[in-house]
Amino acid sequence: MPDLNSEAILAAVASREEATISFLQDLLRAPSVNPWFGDPAEISAEEKVQDVFEARFRDLDADVIDRWEPQADELAHRADGPGYYPGRDFTGRPNVVAVFKGSAPTGKAVMIQGHCDVVQVGSHWTEDPFGGERKEGKIFGRGAVDMKGGMAAAVGAIEALRDAGVTLREDLIVASVADEEAGGMGTLSLVDRGYRAPGGAIVPEATNLNIAPLCRGILWGRVTLHGRAGHIELERKPWREGGAVDAIDYGHRLLDAIRERNAQWANDPLKNHQYLPIPCQIYVAQLDAGEFPTTYAASCTLTFNAQYLPVQKDANGLGSIVKHELEELFGGFVTGDDWFDEHPPTVEWLVDADCGETPDSEPVVTATLAAARQVGLSSELQGCMSHTDMGLQIDDGTPTINFGPGHMGVAHQADEHVLETDLLAATKVMALTIAELCGAEASSTGSHH
């Protein structure tokens, strides 16, 4: 891209900074808590914020605006793969897609794809979670980092390209989907509807302005260890004579076995990746055992989070290989114990959120990294340690990365906020990257594309 063109684009981004911040505030003031998170009083589902996106797409004269509510029964043919949850209700929870047609498309469409839902507010906020407040260079609100900030940067980038008189040769698709925070069925519906981008997709999740060509898969599950209640202060009879069996004792032993397995995983090539600073592990997040201080626990339940990498995806794009590994661990950490053999642990799987990886030689990776360096950022290639919607897109033939402003450590917390400087930097990178991937031409007419 000629330097003159880059300078005009970056100048347009800078001149639009207040408009981009204002658009983010509009997004934050439209509550879009995913209904999976509970309190109906604070939930406005995704419809309100999708109205904000749709109005902006209309202002930008998008060639196509597609809005629909996903239907679980229509997606049942994808039940064996990622993102499908039977019976999920999308009433008032639409996806919205805008297509900006290119001047001479060759079938290498580019996509910006983000989710509009946010997690529950929670407690300890000192700012209005839906106020979009600006203070000391920060913009506050639930979703500022995850991921309305990234989507505002992307839309701001498109507006700046238009202001700079840039025409794009390839089609540009902008998709705002529902339901990512509870499994990604909005993206499943997007893919099923036929939206794909052979030229590459950017998911503007918060990456601290790094380029993430990878995200991990996430398994949530519960393992319940079975015992038999009995008076805790008395001498115990053998279990075959009706004696108590302490489920918490099995819990202790399982925690030790998990610790041992994590040490193995830490050095296992299948559990490590060059773009991740930490290995996949089995984290115990909740413990539930026992009823009374005088009674041995009849059961002990461990709720856990385990991660997996694309190298261990199964044929359906999910984590059954790692599920099997964990089931063997949970069933085999005790040996030579008749009670345990006759009352094996019960394993319940809660979530399997898929992973994905785009080769770092893909143009969407190299162009975004080059743009970040061009605007003076010290961005690196670093994978996402948590799940994003990228896997579904990659499996569908769209090379996909995550790139956006903000640090994921600030997401899902009280007083979630994004820095104005990060928002501006992300907008610059997005604008240069879209121009590069879509093939930018100076427009003599100042076309809206």
Fold classified for 217-353: Alpha-Beta Plaits (3.30.70)
CATH 3.30.70.360 residue ranges of the chain are 217-353
The rounded distance, in Å, linking the Cα atoms of 408 and 28 is 17
| Residue 377 in this model has a pLDDT that exceeds 50 | yes
| Residue 267 in this model has a pLDDT that exceeds 80 | yes
Give Cα separations from 277 to 272, 308, 378 (angstroms): 8, 14, 17
Instruction: Give the residue carrying structure tokens 């600006």.
Output: 134
pLDDT at 262: 98
The rounded distance, in Å, linking the Cα atoms of 391 and 398 is 9
pLDDT at 36: 87
Other C-beta atoms closer than 10 Å to the C-beta of 65 total 15
pLDDT at 448: 46
Which of the four pLDDT bands, split at 50, 70 and 90, describes residue 446?
Answer: very low
Mean of pLDDT values over 265-275: 98
Helix-then-strand count for the chain, H and E: 11, 17
Cα end-to-end distance, the chain, whole Å = 17
Q: Does the domain formed by 3-215+355-442 have CATH 3.40.630.10?
A: yes
Tell me the pLDDT tens digit for each residue of 174-210.
Answer: 999 999 998 899 999 999 999 999 999 999 999 999 9
Tell me the pLDDT tens digit for each residue of 403-438.
Answer: 999 999 899 999 999 999 999 999 999 999 999 999
SS3 state at 399? coil
Specify the pTM: 0.92
CATH 3.40.630.10 residue ranges of the chain are 3-215+355-442
Which of the four pLDDT bands, split at 50, 70 and 90, describes residue 39?
Answer: low
Mean of pLDDT values over 380-385: 96
Burial class (CB in 10 A: 0-12, 13-18, 19+), 241: exposed
- Among candidates 34, 217, 202, 149, which has minimal Cα distance to 407? 149
Is the peptide bond prior to 147 cis by the omega test (within 30 degrees of 0)?
yes
pLDDT at 71: 97
Which of the four pLDDT bands, split at 50, 70 and 90, describes residue 2?
Answer: very low
Which of the four pLDDT bands, split at 50, 70 and 90, describes residue 5?
Answer: confident
Tell me the pLDDT tens digit for each residue of 224-246.
Answer: 999 999 999 999 999 999 999 99
| Residue 139 in this model has a pLDDT that exceeds 80 | yes
pLDDT at 43: 62
| Residue 343 in this model has a pLDDT that exceeds 90 | yes
What are the residues whose beta carbons fall under 8 Å from the beta carbon of 139, sequence distance 6 or more?
21, 24, 25, 28, 132, 133, 149, 417, 418, 420, 423
Task: Dump strand ranges (E) for 197-263.
Answer: 201-203, 214-215, 217-226
| Residue 281 in this model has a pLDDT that exceeds 60 | yes
Mean of pLDDT values over 365-370: 98
Question: Identity (one letter) of the amino acid at 24?
Answer: L
SS3 state at 223? strand
Question: Identity (one letter) of the amino acid at 195?
Answer: Y
Tell me the pLDDT tens digit for each residue of 42-80.
Answer: 567 899 999 999 999 999 999 999 999 999 999 999 999
Instruction: Give the range with max mean pLDDT: 9-23, 34-48, 383-397.
Output: 9-23
Tokens of 217: 């898969």
Task: Dump strand ranges (E) for 110-213.
Answer: 110-115, 134-135, 138-140, 166-168, 172-177, 201-203
pLDDT at 280: 98
pLDDT at 1: 46
| Residue 41 in this model has a pLDDT that exceeds 90 | no
The pairing of strands 110-115 and 201-203 is parallel
Other C-beta atoms closer than 10 Å to the C-beta of 317 total 20
Mean of pLDDT values over 354-374: 97
Burial class (CB in 10 A: 0-12, 13-18, 19+), 358: buried
Instruction: Give the residue carrying structure tokens 């773009």.
Output: 275
| Residue 289 in this model has a pLDDT that exceeds 50 | yes
Run of H or E residues at 323: helix 320-332
| Residue 340 in this model has a pLDDT that exceeds 50 | yes
The rounded distance, in Å, linking the Cα atoms of 251 and 224 is 9
What is the phi-psi region of residue 3: left when phi exceeds 0, alpha when psi lies from -120 to 50, beta otherwise? alpha
Run of H or E residues at 151: helix 149-163
| Residue 172 in this model has a pLDDT that exceeds 90 | yes
